[in-house]
Chains A and B, each alone.
Chain A
């Protein structure tokens, strides 16, 4: 029996980790909060457009139910539905909690929260703070965590990198090992429960919209220790990334929600100043192909449309990989007020003013719908997720929880814009509550003896470090990372085919082999960033294998995962009632019988072992296909 005062560890201090921290502390359980940097610098700060909640304050008759439906269908039915239901139901309360924390949401003339339109929906449902919403939400919870830190309930371990979890003889998670990024020392930290909130994996694609610390290494590490990774193959390309050599900076979907239009010249290779191109020589392809949703179709649809226009129709601007995102028809003061912070980013890096000149954009790797597999408990009374159950957001490893982008629970095959800040916050809150319930339950169970598990795991990690630091090979970790990004971008991108995926799987295996021969320029014992970077590169390659393996096996198109060979097309110009549509519907349902399954990857040294789990579709059975025309 455990009698000592419980302790918990949260790894990651973005929206998910900070929410989890708050709920643990509020349950009376102190938290050690680990982060690679000051938590205020987390990648949540880069989220721009807003956070969804069906507040229905725009006279459009929006509803929680519609938010649930849009989220489920937006994700092509691939996510378990009861947790989505609960998330959407609790979204308005979450927004109001953020508001109480002091988040500077943009306001209507009468002082209420303003709402804007986002993709994949028909109603204004997105609360926002200019176009730096993620930053503002992050700061709101950061301040609350600081308040508890001031009371001695949160102990921050900033400048620490989690290397592994420590488990007991029964496989229960009992703590972590971590690397002090300054002294390079490895230490073990015991805990009664560990919550991972370690964010996205964009760096696996080399260039993405993600921050340079969003490597997915932490998720990869626990995956290599036995945690399941779900739906890895579902990688969201954001339709509108800025083109850049070092990073593909995000230009928020809010720019289209506020009236921005995507177009490209109808004339191939047209190099005229876009402002001089007459309306009838512009191809507003989203509006033409999807008249109902137009520029605010879901991201998978928009990204693929841009891809098609550029790669298959040869209509990229000046023949290059880019199309226009045009705000110039909107009043400049309106654009600056509503979208100021992204306008500044674009101006800073290109020198062009988007209120005067159309922006040039192209799809960019942005978000991982997949992530660590997490459990949840059904509540028969509500049809949602059972409040306070310790199963919620627990991985298959007892005592290890995951929330935020590093879990794979809510977005199925495609995430709707402005649902990520919602799921990060909501899942963080749930994971904190759930871990608190788990820890309290531990008082009643006898736990296995730990023996020397902490020392052994610390020694194992130090040995990995020593091997890297003394390796005298010819491979450069930075170059290996660039090659990894190229493999993933070229062969596991917007459009996929099995031959390329086979090549990717081979190339990844080869990269893993070559990693054994790396050599570092910095072998010193103080603030050596090369060592953690090298370890991240290895762990990114391993997660790349999960993405590629899942993609290779899934012979269908669903959400962000697209293989032309297996596309089941909606018959052109046909709608429900037409015989062609009914025929399509039948085939669509047959396809779901085969493929409406959660991909679950388990680690094996020779490559991931993939199995499929059923999806809970009890809220909205898959009767109507996605159709945004």
Chain B
């Protein structure tokens, strides 16, 4: 076991400044994940060359892969840094910001496009209001629940967007994560009522048909959200919607 943990981190001071690399070597400790290691570096930010520098900036919150904050590229692959255990990674551990979102600073990127896209596809149930209407929603079978629960675990972390060859800042494609939420909302017994609105939102430019079927998204999703299954099912739903639009429902 090596007695140090080595990192190579891509730094970028400001959104418009030129990136550069810095290397760090810290004492080995068992049980480190990438975020806890970054915290140790932050406390004593000295590079492998012995220079005291401004500590790297990154995002994290829950530290247990539930909140989606700490996405970054680790050894080239988009994943959650808090569950990336140092002992399982080859060194130097290369940290880069997600490549498909604008860099704010160092490993911090701006993922607001994902939340904008959730608005674009109307990923919500149109309830009358959040007051009690003295009844619940219609029943949902355990079999339907299986798929819905899997879809609902999407934490908008952006890994699938990073891996998707069709998603990029200069393109209009919604990306896998927001698309999967359309299926979740369409599956809900009252969410179905607005199905046509959501389907229309993904039928135009940048919508479903921009998916190139590379299957990259499903490879990197930390929550195993059935993204490609969802996209396939939405393909059938949009086809049916086209027919309904032409012939009436």
A40 to B42: give the CA distance in the assembly, Å.
26
* A110 located at the interface, meaning its Cβ lies under 8 Å from any Cβ of chain B in the complex: yes
CB of A141 to closest CB in B, whole Å: 8
Whether A23 and B55, one on each chain, are in contact in the complex, defined by CB atoms closer than 8 angstroms, is no
Q: Is the CB of B68 within 8 A of A527?
A: no
Partner of B131, one of A26, A213, A245, A529: A26
- Provide the A94-109 mask, 1 if CB < 8 A to any CB of B, else 0: 1111011111101111
On whether the beta carbons of A132 and B130 are closer than 8 Å, the reply is no
- Chain B 127-148, CB-CB to A under 8 Å as 1, else 0, gives 1011111111101111001001
Distance to closest chain A CB from B85 (angstroms): 7
- CB atoms of B33 and A41 under 8 A apart: no
Which A-chain residue is minimally distant from B108 (CB atoms)? A527
User: In the complex, are the beta carbons of B55 and A530 less than 8 A apart?
Assistant: yes
B45 touches A38 (CB 8 A): no
CB closest residue in chain B, given A478: B43
- A106 near B145 with CB under 8 A, answer yes
- Which of A23, A100, A149, A530 makes the CB contact (< 8 A) with B137? A100
Total count of chain B residues near the partner, CB < 8 A: 71
Q: Which residues of A contact B83 (CB under 8 A)?
A: 348-349
A577 within 8 A of partner (CB): no
Is B105 interfacial (CB-CB < 8 Å)?
yes
Which residues on the B side are within 8 Å of A349 (C-beta)?
Answer: 33, 64, 83, 85
Q: What are the residues of chain A within 8 A of B242 when measuring CB–CB?
A: none
Asked if residues B139 and A526 are in contact (CB atoms below 8 Å), the reply is: no
| One of A23, A96, A527 near B135 (C-beta < 8 A) | A96
Q: Which of A38, A94, A95, A132 contacts B111 (CB 8 A)?
A: A38
| Cα A249 to Cα B140 with chains together (Å) | 32
A211 in contact with B62 given A41-B69, A245-B32 (CB within 8 Å): yes
A522 contacts which of B55, B59, B142 (Cβ < 8 Å)?
Answer: B55
Taken together as a complex, chains A and B put the C-alpha atoms of A349 and B53 apart, in Å, by 30
CB interface residues, B 33-55, toward A, < 8 Å: 33, 35-36, 39, 42-43, 45, 52-55
With both beta carbons as reference points, the residue of chain A lying nearest to B17 in the complex is identified as: A526
Enumerate chain A residues within 8 angstroms of B63, measured Cβ to Cβ: 211-212, 246-247, 249
Per-position contact with B for A468-480: 1 when CB-CB < 8 Å, else 0?
0000000010110
Report the minimum CB–CB distance from B141 to chain A (whole Å). 5
C-alpha gap A100/B54 in the complex (Å) = 48
A266 proximal to B (CB < 8 A): no
Q: Give Cα A196–Cα B63 distance, bound, in whole angstroms.
A: 24
Q: Do A96 and B136 contact each other (CB < 8 Å), given the known contacts A104-B145, A527-B105?
A: yes
Are A26 and B129 closer than 8 Å at their CB atoms?
A: yes
Write out the residue numbers on chain A whose beta carbons fall within 8 Å of the beta carbon of B52.
521
Residues of A within 8 A of B156 (CB): 38, 40
From B66, B135, B184, A132 is in contact (CB under 8 Å) with B66
Residue of A nearest to B84 (CB): A348
Using CB atoms, name the residue of chain A closest to B43: A478
Verify B140–A521 contact, CB threshold 8 A. Answer: no
Cβ A521 vs Cβ B152 within 8 A: no
Are A90 and B132 neighbours in the complex by a CB distance under 8 Å?
yes
Q: Is A97 within 8 A of B132, CB to CB? A: yes
Given A95-B136, A104-B148, A526-B105, also A111-B64 (CB < 8 A) = no
Give the CA-CA distance A100 to B42 in the complex, in Å: 44
Known contacts A26-B131, A143-B125; A102 and B184 CB within 8 A of each other:
yes
B27 within 8 A of A: no
Interface residue? A491 (CB, 8 A): no
Whether B149 pairs with A22 at a CB distance below 8 angstroms is no
Is B220 an interface residue, CB under 8 A from the partner? no
**Cβ–Cβ contact B131 & A102, under 8 A:** no
Q: Given A46-B62, A245-B31, A530-B55, is A135 in contact with B155 using a C-beta cutoff of 8 Å? A: yes
Q: A135-B66, A211-B62, A527-B57 are in contact. Are A101 and B127 (CB under 8 A)?
A: yes
| Cα–Cα, bound, A103→B68 (Å) | 19
**Chain B interfacial positions (CB closer than 8 Å to A):** 13-14, 29-33, 35-36, 39, 42-43, 45, 52-55, 57, 59-69, 83, 85, 104-106, 108, 111-112, 115, 118-119, 122-127, 129-137, 139-142, 145, 148-149, 152-153, 155-156, 184-185, 188, 190-191
A-B contact list, 20 entries, CB within 8 Å = A26-B130, A38-B115, A40-B67, A90-B132, A96-B132, A96-B135, A97-B132, A101-B130, A102-B184, A107-B139, A132-B153, A135-B153, A212-B61, A341-B153, A478-B42, A479-B43, A521-B52, A526-B14, A529-B57, A530-B42
- Known pairs A41-B62, A102-B185, A344-B65 / 12 extra A-B pairs, C-beta < 8 Å: A19-B130, A37-B59, A41-B155, A46-B64, A96-B137, A97-B130, A100-B136, A129-B152, A349-B85, A478-B39, A526-B13, A528-B57
Q: Which 10 A-B pairs have the closest CB atoms?
A: A111-B139, A93-B132, A246-B36, A96-B136, A143-B124, A527-B105, A478-B43, A41-B67, A102-B125, A247-B63
